[in-house]
């Protein structure tokens, strides 16, 4: 997932539904991690 936003851009994220809180938590974590490449996460060689 990518987001074309420069560093310092303020984002407003909202969600509705039964899993809204879990979705917001996951999205906030993703943003805080700088949108790390989740497709290759865990596939690094030591």
pLDDT class of 1 with cuts at 50, 70, 90: low
CA distance 30 to 36: 7
CA distance 13 to 36: 18
Give residue 38's pLDDT.
Answer: 52
State the number of CA atoms in the 13 A half-sphere of 31 facing the CB. Answer: 17
Nearby residues of 14 by Cβ (< 8 Å), 6 or more positions away: 24
Question: What does the angle CA 23 – CA 32 – CA 30 come to, to the nearest 5 degrees?
Answer: 40
18-43 pLDDT, tens digit per residue, is 999 999 999 889 888 877 755 555 55
Report residue 16 as tokens: 């509705």
């Amino acid at each position: 997932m990518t987001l074309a936003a420069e560093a310092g851009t303020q984002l407003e994220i909202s969600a509705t539904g039964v899993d809204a809180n879990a979705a917001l938590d996951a999205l906030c974590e993703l943003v805080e991690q700088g949108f790390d490449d989740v497709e290759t996460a865990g596939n690094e060689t030591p």
